[in-house]
Amino acid sequence: MKIAAAQIRPVWLNKPATIAKVIDTIRQAASEKVDLLAFPEAFVSGYPFWLCRTDAASFGNPMQSNAYARFLEASMEADSPEVQQIVEAARDYGVSVFLGFNERGSSIGRGTLYCSLLKIDAKEGLLGVHRKLMPTHDERLCWAPGDAHQLRTHRIAGVQVGGLCCWENWMPMARFALYSGGEELHISLWPGNAAVAEGIVGATAREGRVWSLSVHGLLSMSDIPDDFPFKAELIAQGHDVIFNGGSSLVAPDGTTVIAPAVGLEGLITHTIDVQEVYENRQLFDVTGHYHRPDIFDLRIRGERFDTGKLWR
């Protein structure tokens, strides 16, 4: 399987333009004969970078309220025409896609956002949407906690693939849930900067004896619309580069195949061999011969809370 990390910039807060960029990147990946293309966390339509750089927790701050409302408007619903556009592009170009996006709740929950992972098979279409289990620190001012409804792996081009968003990769039981699904390729989506993923990409590869692909994005203040409430303030404080990439790939034995690609813009590709997964499981198979199901038991509650069902 040939995989690719799309280390690129979103058209921040511009949903139509970002979706057009996603489709153009799928087209480019097809020209390079990529089987599975992965985008950074919250790529559509950008990461809420301002939260940790402004007084985001100030109660009733009109600038913060305006920023959130604009961020909400630039998000996608899971069953939207925009998602269908991406699904059709993946099918047309024969490229499976893992895409980080800001998911807007549906029905009476349309004022709520989730940090979500859209999973698409080039042949089967939409596989599902995973909502990040726990937003990290200031992210909780923007994103709601997710659920385990799509905490699972999928068979894509003959490889069992799973994915998690940012620091939920540090949650041992979340990782184990994917290992238990027969995971052979683990994809971790990050907003950007290799430092936030330091340690866990290689640890996941060795723990699960899986290929571990880490996908990071790029973002600078020049990418932010001039009328965004905090842009002038942040530039005056000296902010410039927000995310500088750092996508990487680690083999099932823990060997770094692609070192964090800082500053590089474009597709980062590699052809993986699943046989290496099973060569390395001779010594350690975390859900097989090195598991003790007579002692340990993991229960996953996979229901999705659908606010639309509150009203009959």
Q: Give the pLDDT of the chain (312 residues) as one tens digit per residue.
A: 999 999 999 999 999 999 999 999 999 999 999 999 999 999 999 999 999 999 999 998 999 999 999 999 999 999 999 999 999 999 999 999 999 999 999 878 899 999 999 999 999 999 999 999 999 999 999 999 999 999 999 999 999 999 999 999 999 999 999 999 999 999 999 999 999 999 999 999 999 999 999 999 999 999 999 999 999 999 999 999 999 999 999 999 999 999 999 999 999 999 999 999 999 999 999 999 999 999 999 999 988 866 555 433
What token pair was written down for 94? 């024969």
- State the Cα–Cα distance between residues 310 and 19, nearest whole angstrom: 32
Domain covering 2-290 assigned CATH 3.60.110.10 in the classification: yes
Token pair of 30, please?
A: 């097809």
Segment 247-267, tens digit of pLDDT: 999 999 999 999 999 999 999
Residue 135's pLDDT is what? Answer: 98
pLDDT at 311: 39
**Considering only CA atoms, which of 119, 150, 128, 152 is closest in space to residue 36?**
119
Helix, strand, coil % over all residues of the chain, rounded to 5: 30, 25, 40
pLDDT of residue 108: 80
Per the CB < 8 A criterion, the answer to whether 106 and 112 are in contact is no
User: Positive or negative CA dihedral for 28, 213, 282, 255?
Assistant: positive
